[in-house]
Amino acid sequence: MSRSFPALSANTARTEPLVRRKSLRLSATLLLLGQLLYIVVTQFHADGDANNHPAVFAGYAGSGIWTVVHLGQFAGMAIFLAGLLALFFALDVQAGAARWAGRFGAASAVTTLALYGVLQAVDGVALKQAVNTWAGAPDAEKAARFASAEAIRWLEWGVRSYQNFALGLALLLFAAAVVRTAWIPRPIAHLMGLSGLTYLVQGWVVGSVGFSRTETIAIVLAFALDVAWMTWLVVVAWRLQDSDAPSPG
């Protein structure tokens, strides 16, 4: 019996780097796929000055692909966040501070997905029904219907704000975990952290003044940073060799 233990230990030592490498590849692929899907689908969203409610609500009411676009956005965000959770398992950090950063980052990612589901229920369903009703209402009812749609819009601001805060916090926490991981280039963690800060800015701006030009700039910057660090992570994951992967224990 005792002779079998060294063989089992050696097999574990060979297997663990392979598992880590596969986990990192899965994480990187999901992250980049989810972000790219989200960016592409968002291009089909009804456009206009988002804070000019009479004009933009008319555009929303006329959109025939509203539901499909918002379902696509939810799918992209869900894949993105699944990639973050997979990254938590791929890192498997054991150091105290990094371990807790990863755990809280994973919890924040789950919170982000829950908030994004609420956001899409408010924006993708409730707001669309409200603007449709307003657009088709008789003149005597339009003011009341518009007020209802605007109230839902303000609720959307609130949910979007906290969803952005949760996502920004998740990225900052994961960046703190990655920066302590020797086998992933440290600049990836720096880009993740910068991306997290842009989401925090989005959260503050949306909660304060709604969907302004400042928020749009922060969105574009977040997209660029995300694609940069995710692409880099994909390259690292697929080039990682057994000798580069972390040793067990």
Tens-digit pLDDT profile for residues 90-113: 887 666 777 888 899 999 999 999
Q: Is the pLDDT of residue 196 over 90?
A: yes
pLDDT the model gives residue 246 = 52
Angle in degrees, CA 127, 129, 135, rounded to 5: 100
Q: Give the type of residue at 147.
A: A
Task: Give the mean pLDDT of the chain.
Answer: 88
Whether residue 208 contacts residue 136, with contact meaning beta carbons closer than 8 Å, is answered with no
pLDDT of 248:
41
The contacts of residue 33 (CB under 8 Å, 6+ apart) are: 79, 83
Span 210-228, pLDDT tens digits:
999 999 999 999 999 999 9
Cβ partners under 8 Å of residue 222, min gap 6: 195, 198, 199, 202
pLDDT at 243 exceeding the cut of 70: no
DSSP 208-239: HHSS-HHHHHHHHHHHHHHHHHHHHHHHHHHH
Lowest mean pLDDT among 3-17, 58-72, 136-150, 175-189: 3-17
Number of other CB atoms surrounding residue 248 within 10 Å: 14
| Rounded mean pLDDT, 39-57 | 93
Report which of residues 121 and 3 the model is more confident about: 121
Tell me, yes or no, if the pTM score tops 0.85. yes
Range 131-148 average pLDDT = 95
Structure tokens at 186: 């440290």
